Structure 1
Amino acid sequence: MSQPVAANTKWWSGGKSPFNIEYGKLMMWYFLMSDAFTFGAFLISYGTVRISSNGWPDPNHVFQSAPLLGNGLPLVFVSLMTFILIVSSVTMVLAVHEGHNMNRKGVVKWLIWTIIGGAAFLGCQAWEWTHLYHEGAWWGSNPFPNADGTISTSNFANFFFTITGFHGFHVFSGVVINIIMLIMTLNGTFDKKGHYLMIEKAGLYWHFVDLVWVFVFLCFYLL
């Protein structure tokens, strides 16, 4: 027969959820699910407006510039941005792996590279926004004509700056989180706890940010 459960016993007392998952990791998954709904709502709204519009700017014309290289290079710069973010996801995987092995030096090394990758992506996005702003694009203003040559509305610019800005805020938050994780690792916080679960939770957030960028890249830069 199974042993009776004491009246004052709580299911969270052992740090486990009812799904046999560490409680903090479960909460991170709940947060990421809710965040995915938000991004999904933005992208569905974007798709709905684009499909219902008579025309839309050609991304090969809008995103054709790169620093130091000039114009006439469609999607080259944003491809570099995407590559940087994907590489930062790989370095985050390596940081989590080193955490599983309780290797503090390895965690520090790969966290630093992840932070550098995130900061580089933000720097690239800042350049892109600045360049588009100087070309006359901003919320409520869109200088780019539709692909068929007709005058375009400001919907393209409104959605672009809103969605990429929202994603950029997530990347910035991820960089801050990783810096905090780095400081805690350097202070030996996780060695004292006997595990690096916080690195794994930060990794879940970072991978989510990278995954969302794939959809943003597809919707704005390729289609």
Structure 2
Amino acid sequence: METNADLARYGEGIGRYHDLLYPFLDLPSALARVGSVVEPPCRVVDFGAGTGQLAVALAGRGYTVEAVDISSAMLDQLRARDTDGLVTRHVADMTKADVGDDFDLCVITNNTLFMLPSQGLQRAALSRASAHLVEGGHLIVEGYDPSFYHTMSREHTQSSVLGDGTLLVDSMTCDPVNQLLIVLRTFVSQGTVRTYPEISRYAWPAELDLMAEAEGLRLVERWGDWEGGAFTRSSGRHISLYRRAV
């Protein structure tokens, strides 16, 4: 089973490819969606902030932003992106983080909650998110819809070319009993081959709601995209808005 130390090492290795793998194409819509929940200069904490695509953009809009990530390499990239030094960074495990209790919004985007490999760790992260919020504060969680992966009966391989010309080959297997998606990611670039395992423990929306409710967070709304489209059986992801109980 993957540990939090494994996640730190994963961030150290895959950080160089992060923005190529996960370009935040919906960033303008995400900023608008956040703006519909809280307005600047509200306080926002980004759990699993990675290279800071959302955190830095929010700070640029006038929010007071703090970023939490277990990988110092990821946060180094955030610092380079944050040319005005607006985001406060914390190298910390989001299942144990304690950077304050007066935030109006916590965001956990880009499947980051699923990178925690057990329900217990995911609940711990939701508990810490709730503890960081003021009464009535909000949490936004973005995760992939697991339907396609959950029904895979054999290994699935796909390839793509990333923006810098790197060839990416993903070999995926699924353990539906434990709700684990195991991806072996191979990057081929200029004669160099690098391979990293990526394990995510997916949760169905109903399970996510139960975990959140156990930590004092009630579902307000769920969307199928950052533009606010309905979440349906054909949605590739779900974006859930929770409110901390008053």
- Into which bin does the TM-score normalised by the smaller protein fall? under 0.3
Q: Which structure: greater strand fraction?
A: 2
TM-score in terms of structure 2 length: 0.23
Q: Which structure: greater helix fraction?
A: 1
Which structure would you say has the larger Rg? Answer: 1
